[in-house]
């Protein structure tokens, strides 16, 4: 129970506390994170495949781990309600996906614009039409420029760790921005895997709104005459300046988050086999599929490295450029039609004809390792001729 | 409210603007002042930028003078003419987006309740008719269904005024406005009745033509929201700019509409709120 939990240093919770292995779904991993997150309040609205995690958080409320919880009326209202609760100084959590994300869209830049450390999970799925509830992460493309930090979890372990760490990063006074933690729906939410969990009797320290770089709206925090909004209602130079400088500050705050992402998440990306000439660069479950493809290719004598991108915003452009400086081919498999990650990588590296965006699966299809293997082989054949594929 | 909220740091008294110093020395916080005392204390709103003769501006002054506990009141506004005035208001006020005010207020009220369990923090929504009855209606009604302990005040100028005079759900039937080139085809939305059916414990309609009555209704609404349930006050404040009457004709217009029967002052008090207010006002009376 909540009252038996003790607050510990975030670094102890993340790195030092003994962990035990459990076999749970991604949805259960979300609840395990929120249980240890010292979250004040959550607001829920059903959408597949997100719902189960918010049911479990409702159970946590019933057990006393959260102080308030309710079902909102739609995703826009839910995101507005957690915004209100955060303005009032509470630590909040919510989750949504797909059409819910798009329904709530207007609120995300508001979270960033009001510098609120809201943590929201996105269990990504297709968006209509035609209707699809299946895994796909096209919604991430639509959130890239909302000002929100974006972390992409590969599996349930990542999902658990990233949600908790997102609070630690988002609440830093020099960051104080919302954080979205994304997974590919169903693949992670509805499958069981081994997850290492710290004890449930410890939790993050409480959120202290007095450390926020912007005042809390509680009539306890000075100043009492306050202009929180950019002055965009009047057309004059001051209003342009206020708006523009505020937006630059939001971007700067995300830049300042990089050092905390390195500290708490071990970097914005992970590189395996750094001396390889061929790389698979991916985020989310495409990373797991890439691992399989790398094994298959290795058996065929083709050495391929892996770049797992964990932070999408801020984006590790410099790290990717450095990691691939000597690479001849960078293949980017994705669970969406638009290929937003390939675009980001192409914009980050020199000689971006080295980047191949594919394979792309969407509409809920799985990504067999063979698809990735074929993409790599075809790219090698196109670029270097047949002999290179067998080298 | 902590005293440090508005206290001026020693040495800075001289550099603070005079209107701020007046708020500290002669503001309404922590004092029993109301509409009858206007002119004797520093008002919470400073030189609003609304049009000459704006009845919404007048309504806003009266609402702010009527707050039972301004030092522990947070206001949630919405997009529209009133949002232009809120930057001048000296209580914490939130402008998030157009229409989400009651959802923001729901989260805010709950967070303040859990952060300050031993204190009353009044959350008051003040928004225009477009924000309340059109774009935000689902969130307004859902906050009532959920029995959120907030007060919703609609500044009803019967038009989208800030965007240039478009028809709103509160415009009278037949009125020719932008986006209603042949006249509005359906009647003014009966939001007071909807509020009552949706679970509001206290519902009132009033105008700034009756300042004392407005004050009483706003206070009753906020006090009822503390203890009983959601409350709704609809304030008729016709717009001189978009309805093309002179700035000094506002109150006359209100009275004319009252005579026609197209605007009525009304009050609905649920039995539970009635019992609560009788006890409260009886106790006040005995003082």
**pLDDT tens sequence across A375-386:** 999 999 998 885
pLDDT confidence of residue A228: 44
Q: How much is the average pLDDT of B8-19?
A: 86
| Least trusted range by pLDDT, from A223-232, B9-18, B126-135 | A223-232
Which residues sit opposite A150 in a β-bridge?
A180, A313
The ipTM estimated for the assembled molecules is: 0.94
Q: Tell me the residue length of chain B.
A: 287
B110: which chain A residues are within 8 Å (Cβ-Cβ)? 41, 68, 70, 85, 88, 90
Q: Which of A40, A78, A229 is closest, CB to CB, to B95? A: A229
Interface residue of B80, B93, B110 to substitute, partner A, most A CBs within 10 Å: B110
Q: Do B111 and A89 touch (CB under 8 A)?
A: yes
- Of the candidates A73, A83, A88, the beta carbon closest to that of B96 is on A83
> Which chain B residue lies closest to A67 (C-alpha atoms)?
B114
- CA atoms of A114 and A111, how far apart (whole Å): 5
For chain B, what are the domain ranges?
50-286
Size of interface A-B (CB pairs under 8 A): 147
* φ, ψ (nearest 5 deg) of residue B269: -125, 120
A174 Cβ under 8 Å from any chain B Cβ: no
Look at B100 and A107 and tell me if their CB atoms are within 8 Å. yes
Closest CA of chain B from A38, distance in Å: 13
Contact A106 B84 (CB under 8 A): no
What string of H, E and C letters represents the secondary structure of chain A? CHHHCEECCHHHHHHHCCCEEEEEEHHHHHHHHHHCCCCCEEEECCCCCCHHHHHHHHHHHHCCCCCEEEECCCHHHHHHHHHHHHHCCCCEEEEECCHHHHHCHHHHHHHHHCCCCCEEEEEEECCCCCCCCCECCHHHHHCCCCCCEEEECCCHHHHHHHHHHHHHHHCCCCCCCCEEEEEECCCCCCCEEEEEECCCCEECCCCCHHHCCCCCCCCCCCCCCCCCCCCCCCCCHHHHHHHHHHHHHHHHHHHHHHHHHHHHHCCCEEEECCCCCEEEEECCHHHHHHHHHHHHHHHCCCCEEEEEECEEECCCHHHHHHHCCCCCEEEEEECCCCCHHHHHHHCCCCCHHHEEEEEECCCCCCCCHHHHHHHHHHHHHHHHCHHHHCC
pLDDT, tens digit (0-9, with 9 covering 90-100), for B260-279? 999 999 999 999 999 999 99
Per the CB < 8 Å rule, is B107 touching A80?
yes
Question: Which of A84, A221, A228 lies nearest to residue B103, judging by beta carbons?
Answer: A84
**What average pLDDT does this structure show over B189-194?**
98
Residue in B2, B71, B103 closest to A80 by CB = B103
Residues 6 or more apart whose CB falls under 8 angstroms from that of A224 comprise: B1, B5, B6, B23, B90, B91, B92
CB-based contact (8 Å) between A225 and chain B? yes
Lowest mean pLDDT among A218-232, A291-305, B110-124, B172-186: A218-232
Given a cut of 70, the residues of chain A with pLDDT beneath it are 1-3, 225-235, 386-391
Whether B107 sits inside 8 A of A73 (CB atoms) is no
pLDDT value for A391: 43
Phi-psi region of B11 (alpha: psi -120 to 50; beta: other; left: phi over 0): left
Residues of A in contact with B87 (CB under 8 A): 227, 229, 231
pLDDT band with cut points at 50, 70 and 90 for residue B48: confident
For range B186-209, the mean pLDDT: 98
Q: Do the bridges between strand B73-77 and strand A355-360 make them parallel or antiparallel, or are there none, so unpaired?
A: unpaired
Which residue from A minimizes the CA distance to B21?
Answer: A225
| Radius of gyration of chain A, Cα coordinates, nearest whole angstrom | 21
Facing A80 at nearest CB: one of B104, B111, B121: B104
Tell if the CB–CB gap between B115 and A221 is shorter than 8 Å.
no
Q: What confidence score (pLDDT) does residue A45 get?
A: 98
Is A85's CB within 8 Å of B111's CB?
yes
pLDDT of the residue at A230: 42
**Domains (ranges, CATH) in chain A?**
2-211 (3.40.50.970), 269-389 (3.40.50.920)
8 Å CB contact of B76 and A84: yes
- What is the pLDDT confidence band of residue B227, given thresholds at 50, 70 and 90? very high
* Beta bridge mates, A63: none
A220: chain B residues, CB-CB within 8 Å: 1-2, 5, 116
B46 interaction partners in chain A (CB closer than 8 Å): 225
Cβ distance of B115 and A83 shorter than 8 Å: no
**Nearest Cα residue in chain A from B89:** A225
A-chain residues near B139 (CB < 8 A): 73, 77, 80
Alpha carbon distance, N-terminus to C-terminus of chain B: 25
Radius of gyration of chain B (CA): 19
A68/B110 Cβ within 8 A: yes
Do B111 and A231 make contact, defined as CB atoms within 8 angstroms?
no
Nearest neighbour of A87 by CB, restricted to B91, B100, B108: B108
Alpha-carbon span A87 to A228, nearest angstrom: 11
* CA-based end-to-end distance of chain A: 59
How many of the other CB atoms lie within 10 Å of CB of A368? 14
User: B50-286: which CATH topology?
Assistant: Rossmann fold (3.40.50)
User: Closest to B110 (Cβ–Cβ): which among A41, A78, A215?
Assistant: A41
Residue of B nearest to A42 (CA): B107
Tokens of A254: 């995300």
């Amino acid at each position: 129970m909540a009252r038996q939990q003790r607050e510990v240093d975030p670094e102890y919770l993340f790195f030092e506390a003994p962990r035990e292995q459990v076999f749970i779904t991604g949805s259960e991993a979300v609840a395990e994170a929120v249980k240890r997150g010292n979250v004040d309040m959550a607001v829920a609205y059903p959408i597949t495949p997100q719902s189960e995690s918010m049911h479990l958080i409702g159970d946590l409320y019933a057990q006393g781990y959260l102080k308030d919880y309710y079902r909102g009326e739609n995703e826009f209202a839910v995101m507005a309600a957690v915004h209100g609760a955060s303005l009032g100084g509470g630590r909040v959590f919510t989750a949504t996906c797909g059409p819910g994300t798009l329904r709530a869209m207007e609120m995300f830049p508001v979270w960033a614009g009001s510098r609120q450390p809201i943590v929201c999970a996105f269990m990504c799925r297709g968006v209509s039409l035609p209707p699809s509830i299946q895994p796909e992460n096209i919604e991430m493309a639509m959130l890239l420029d909302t000002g929100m930090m974006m972390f992409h979890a590969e599996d349930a372990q990542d999902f658990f760790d990233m949600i908790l760490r997102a609070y630690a990063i988002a609440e830093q006074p020099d960051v104080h921005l919302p954080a979205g933690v994304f997974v590919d729906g169903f693949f992670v939410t509805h499958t069981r895997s081994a997850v290492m969990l710290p004890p449930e009797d410890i939790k993050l320290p409480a959120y202290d709104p007095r450390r926020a770089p912007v005042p809390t709206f509680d009539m306890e925090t000075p100043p009492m005459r306050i202009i929180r909004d950019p002055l965009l209602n009047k057309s004059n130079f001051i209003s342009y300046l206020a708006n523009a400088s505020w937006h630059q500050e939001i971007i700067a705050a995300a830049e300042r988050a990089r050092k905390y992402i390195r500290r708490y998440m071990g970097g914005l990306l992970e590189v395996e086999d750094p001396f390889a000439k061929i790389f698979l660069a991916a985020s989310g479950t495409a990373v797991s599929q890439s691992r399989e493809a790398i094994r298959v290719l290795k058996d065929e004598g083709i050495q391929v490295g892996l770049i797992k991108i964990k932070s999408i915003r801020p984006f590790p452009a410099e790290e990717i450029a450095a990691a691939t400086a000597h690479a001849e081919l960078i293949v980017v498999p994705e669970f969406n039609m638009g290929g937003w990650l390939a675009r980001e990588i192409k914009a980050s590296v020199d000689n971006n004809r080295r980047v191949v965006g594919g394979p792309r699966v969407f509409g809920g299809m799985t990504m067999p390792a063979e698809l990735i293997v074929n993409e790599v082989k075809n790219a090698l054949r196109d670029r270097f001729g047949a002999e290179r594929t067998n080298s | 409210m902590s005293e440090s909220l508005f206290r001026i740091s020693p040495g800075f008294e001289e550099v603070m603007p005079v209107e701020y110093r007046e708020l500290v020395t002669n503001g309404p916080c922590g004092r029993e002042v109301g509409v009858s005392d206007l002119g004797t204390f520093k008002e919470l709103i400073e030189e609003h930028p609304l049009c000459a003769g704006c009845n919404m501006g007048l309504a806003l002054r009266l609402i702010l003078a009527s707050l039972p506990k301004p030092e522990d009141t947070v206001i949630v506004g919405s997009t529209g003419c009133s949002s232009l005035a809120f930057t001048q208001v000296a209580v914490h006020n939130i402008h998030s987006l157009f229409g989400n005010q009651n959802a923001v207020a729901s989260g805010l009220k709950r967070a303040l309740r859990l952060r300050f369990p031993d204190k009353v923090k009044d959350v008051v929504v003040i928004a225009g008719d477009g924000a309340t009855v059109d774009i935000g209606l689902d969130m307004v009604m859902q906050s009532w269904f959920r029995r959120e302990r907030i007060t919703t005040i609609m500044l009803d100028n019967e038009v989208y005024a800030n965007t240039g005079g478009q028809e709103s759900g509160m415009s009278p039937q037949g009125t020719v406005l932008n986006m209603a080139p042949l006249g509005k085809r359906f009647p003014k939305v009966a939001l007071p009745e909807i509020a009552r059916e949706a679970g509001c414990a206290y519902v009132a309609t009033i105008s700034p033509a009756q300042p004392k009555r407005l004050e009483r209704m706003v206070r009753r609404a906020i006090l009822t929201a503390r203890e009983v349930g959601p409350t709704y006050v609809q304030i008729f404040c016709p717009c001189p700019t978009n309805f093309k009457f002179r700035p000094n004709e506002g109150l006359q217009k209100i009275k004319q509409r009252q005579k026609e029967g197209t605007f009525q002052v009304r009050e609905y008090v649920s039995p539970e709120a009635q019992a609560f207010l009788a006890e409260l006002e009886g106790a006040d009376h005995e003082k």
